[in-house]
Amino acid sequence: MISAQDVKDLRERTGAGMMDCKKALTETKGDVEKAIDLLREKGLAAAAKKAGRVAAEGIVESYIHGAGRIGVLVEINCETDFVAKTDEFKGFCRDIAMQIAAASPEYVRREEVPADVLEHERMIARQQALNEGKPEKILDKIVEGRIEKYYKETCLMEQVYIKDTDQTVTQYLTTKVAKIGENINIRRFARFAVGEGIEKKQSNLAEEVAAMSGQC
């Protein structure tokens, strides 16, 4: 049984992500030293150490899908212009643009969700739980669980990666940082869908036929 403390200790020693630490400990049956070696072999320990470095270069990637019905622009930064021009980095940027087109996130990371939006989601989640007859004493736990689900649906970094559903976008990013050797930051994006936000006129065929009949 891998304890939360074991995962925390490994994270502090390697700087790798919590999920990566838990997975490494599970694979090595709790052997911390072997888990450290495993993380180093995958480059995940080194990737975490790069996270604080300034990434001010990069590219703005575009992606158009569905014969022009969905379009995405995403800015992704790296540390050097050299890396920004590599096929590896460009491929990563395109993958992220495709992710945004397919999964339609609203924010890059959970810290960007406005407080009022979060409070509104909590209120809805609480009311849903009450309507379902959930006991008052566990409402807070249920609400937080649903907020976590909300993050996974709306925040790009926490979404399941569409090309490999065994990992999140954050985990995919971490592997690329380890492989490329520079810090990479998904800074911002915009997603456009034809007709999105336009109030479309709803036609009622029966009413139209009746109106036409009355004119005859």
User: What does the pLDDT look like over 85-105, one tens digit per residue?
Assistant: 999 999 999 999 999 999 999
What is the sign, positive or negative, of the torsion defined by CA atoms of 174, 180, 183, 188? negative
Is 76 in a helix, a strand, or coil? strand
pLDDT confidence bin for 44, thresholds 50/70/90:
low
**Domain coordinates in residue numbering, the chain:** 4-50, 57-105+159-195, 114-154
Is 79 in a helix, a strand, or coil? coil
Position of tokens 């999920």? 19
The Cα–Cα gap between 72 and 162 comes to 16
Please give the distance of CA 23 from its chain centroid, rounded to a whole number.
19
DSSP state of 166: T
Confidence check: pLDDT of 210 > 70? no
Looking at per-residue confidence, does 211 or 119 come out higher? Answer: 119
The number of residues making up the chain comes to 216
Position of tokens 């890059």? 108
Position of tokens 């014969």? 67
Provide the phi-psi class of 181: left if phi over 0, else alpha when psi is between -120 and 50, else beta: left
Options 2.60.120.620, 3.40.50.300, 3.30.479.20, 3.30.465.10; CATH for 57-105+159-195 is: 3.30.479.20
β pairing state of 185-193 and 57-65: unpaired
Confidence check: pLDDT of 197 > 50? yes
**What are the residue ranges of helices labelled H in the chain?**
4-14, 18-27, 32-42, 44-50, 81-84, 87-103, 115-131, 139-154, 169-180, 205-215
| Most confident residue range from 10-14, 53-57, 103-107 | 103-107
pLDDT confidence bin for 216, thresholds 50/70/90:
very low
What's the pLDDT score for residue 152? Answer: 96
What's the pLDDT score for residue 8? Answer: 81
Mean pLDDT, the chain, integer = 87
Q: Which residues of 93-114 are buried (b: 16+ CB within 10 A; e: fewer)?
A: bbbbbbbbbebbbebbebeebe
* Model pLDDT for residues 106-127, shown as the tens digit of each residue: 999 999 999 999 999 999 999 9
DSSP state of 108: S
Residue 196 tokens read as 């999105």
User: Which CATH code for domain 4-50?
Assistant: 1.10.8.10
The Cα–Cα gap between 165 and 52 comes to 27
Average pLDDT over residues 4-17: 77
Query: Does the domain formed by 114-154 have CATH 3.40.50.2300?
Result: no
Of residues 154, 150, 180, the one with CA closest to residue 169: 154
The whole-model pTM stands at 0.71
